[in-house]
Amino acid sequence: MPGKRVVVTGLGALTPIGLDIPSFWQGLMDGKSGADWIKGFDADKFRTRFACELKDFQVENYIDKKEARRMDPFCQYSIISADQAIADSEINLETVDRLRFGVVMGSGIGGLQTFYQEVRDFSLGDGTPRFNPFFIPKMIIDIAPGHISIKYGLKGPNYSSVSACATASNCIIDAFMLIRSGYADLMLCGGSEAAVNQAGIGGFNAMKALSERNDDPKTASRPFDKDRDGFVLGEGAGCLLLEDYDHAIARGAKIYAELSGVGLSADAHHITAPAPDGEGARNVMKSVIQDAGIRPEQVDYINVHGTSTPLGDIAETLAIKSVFGEHAKNINISSTKSMTGHLLGAAGAIEAIASILAIHHGRIPPTINHFTDDPECDLNYTFIHPVDREVKFAISNTFGFGGHNTSLLFSKL
């Protein structure tokens, strides 16, 4: 689709394997597992007692304590990742038109901890309706971009998109469309999640979506391994600063990569399970390749959705084979969820960042925790170790409950 070119000029990430971009990338290169026993609450009675929580995170190192108390953790994470992206971009906010600078940040679940705590406190009380006056503004998903815009005086488009685990990628796509259409010059975009709590673990356990490998948490996230048994819940945030190419060149910005195309599709199949033949994933990858105006055989790397679920990994493998044919085996593929866990509404952002950094550094992140080959998963998943390779074109896939499918295609400038 013709329009403005869109580039990435700033990155921010708060993840279970690193609390900023350099440490996140180093964690990926080291094949670091972010999984461990849950420390945020007593999980002894849950079927899953581990997750990928943020390590050594103290909110007061980033946000004033009084302000932080008025925010759910998902909102705190969102603001911190946006702060990092702004700093990384080295943009002078005094010289840009803030009416053309917006924010699209989402969350798959939003203020789940706030909701759980407030309702629990009420149910344990005497029935008198006593609720924190910040209950609603702490919980609602759109409050995160609201806080970011207020902090920086950004008066362009400001909202959230929500599509479960595809949320962050949908937010990136929305921001991309706004710049490509000429409606904005700069957009902060991505997603955050803070669902490692009683309601999050209990709810996903009830769905039988989580790994229950309590005997070996560090290796529980096993994308494409024959013995995979579900995903590992993660938390954190990722934020990209997208910018009109001409605007970025005019200010002498550092450019990581170009966002050359986007793809959207729906499975129209089931509320949680993927289409078994990978139809939705196939359609969305075809769409992103067409939108970017490249040939399938030009794709070097795919950061797959790769959740470590029995059905999902096979469906995505089938989709890749269908789209790329013989070239599928020449593509380096990896699931960084093997290290970070599944960050739900933040997954698309941190995985887009991993894809961008693969282009920037010429290195493919690995898929760790591989022990047993699955004959139905027979592509080049870059197991165990990173691989040096020039990456000119990279795809990041993210899929969500409800059958939402997104693909982002980044290219080297």
* Segment 23-37, tens digit of pLDDT: 999 999 999 999 999
Residue type, 168: A
Q: Which of 165, 189, 239, 377 is catalytic?
A: 165
Question: Where do you find CATH 3.40.47.10 in the chain?
Answer: 7-250, 263-404
User: What's the whole-model pTM score?
Assistant: 0.97
Instruction: Report the pLDDT value the prediction gives residue 130, as an integer from 0 to 100.
Output: 85
Q: How far is it, in rounded angstroms, from Cα 207 to Cα 260? A: 37
Cβ-contact 231, 35 below 8 angstroms: no
Report, as ranges of residue numbers, the positions in the chain whose pLDDT lies below 50.
none
Cβ-contact 34, 14 below 8 angstroms: no
Cβ-contact 236, 54 below 8 angstroms: yes
Instruction: Report the pLDDT value the prediction gives residue 127, as an integer from 0 to 100.
Output: 82
List 106's β-bridge partners, or say none. Answer: 191
CA distances from 266 to 105, 171, 278, 352, 357 (A): 21, 16, 11, 20, 28
Residue with tokens 């493919």: 364
Q: How far is it, in rounded angstroms, from Cα 287 to Cα 396? A: 13
pLDDT tens digits along 223-258: 999 999 999 999 999 999 999 999 999 999 999 999
Q: What are phi and psi of 3, to 5 degrees?
A: 155, -170
Does the annotation count 342 as an active-site position? yes
Cβ-contact 107, 345 below 8 angstroms: yes
**Which parts of 215-353 are beta strand (E)?**
236-244, 257-266, 301-303, 332-334
CATH topology of domain 263-404: Peroxisomal Thiolase; Chain A, domain 1 (3.40.47)
Residue with tokens 């470590």: 308
Give 354's Cβ-side CA count (13 Å radius): 39
Cβ-contact 247, 186 below 8 angstroms: yes
Q: Which of 342, 360, 370, 404 is catalytic?
A: 342
Question: DSSP secondary-structure letter at 54?
Answer: P
User: CA geometry: angle at 397 spanning 307 and 393, to 5°?
Assistant: 130
Q: Which of 247, 305, 360, 404 is catalytic?
A: 305
Helix (H, G, I), strand (E, B) or coil at 153: coil
Which burial class, exposed, middle or buried, applies to 66 when counting CB atoms under 10 A from its CB (0-12, 13-18, 19+)? Answer: exposed
User: CA geometry: angle at 401 spanning 397 and 406, to 5°?
Assistant: 25
**Residues composing the chain:** 413
Does the annotation count 247 as an active-site position? no
Does the annotation count 75 as an active-site position? no
What architecture is the 7-250 domain classified under in CATH?
Answer: 3-Layer(aba) Sandwich (3.40)
